[in-house]
Chains A and B, each alone.
Chain A
């Protein structure tokens, strides 16, 4: 089945220690998104890639970076995680960027100690 896969499902990192979260997709979609979702809140878009074009949300901290080496994979790098970065990180894909439906992965739960 075509799907969005996130690894790992649970990640524990230390305060200030860089961490990378991974997302892959078999849908061959052009757009990949990264969302941050804190407890009992709606997902908040951090950035997205349309093909190789990177689009950062205005309020996304510089601490968050992303890479998309090919169509299938996208990575979220947190350079110096703080306690406030503990959250669920959701990867999503869509066929295009025109506000059509997005398909979400299961998420990675990040804990910062």
Chain B
């Protein structure tokens, strides 16, 4: 079955430190991969996406992610975290078996300490 796993429910990082959020997926074919960010009380904003080609993709707000087929992973990274990065991060893959929707992970909450 298609699924997305975000192993870390909550991560705390010091401001200025590097960040890596993990995402593993189970998918029968080459997936489309996404990272979304959600600030409290807000909708989801697309950070970056991977469809094909270069496995290291750059996104907005200084984020990047690397697709590793052998590990079925699509981890999100940022070299230096800012306090404004505190939010909920969702990894998603698509499409689902019906060929329509995205499959979301349960999310990782990022807290940034000063």
Contacts and interface: CB of A to CB of B under 8 A. Distances in A.
Interface of A: 4, 6, 31, 33, 40-43, 45, 48, 50, 55, 57, 88, 90, 92, 97-107, 109
A69 B90 CA distance: 31
B100 A55 contact: yes
B42 interface: yes
Contact of B99 (A90, A98, A106, A109): A98
Q: How extensive is the interface on chain B, given as a class?
A: 20 to 34
Nearest to A108: B43
Given A101-B46, A101-B49, A42 B107 contact: yes
B44 interface: yes
B103 to A, nearest CB: 9
Interface string B24-56: 000000011010100001111110010100000
Contact of B100 (A48, A103, A105): A48
Contact of B95 (A6, A42, A55, A99): A99
Contact of B32 (A31, A100, A103): A100
B100 A100 contact: no
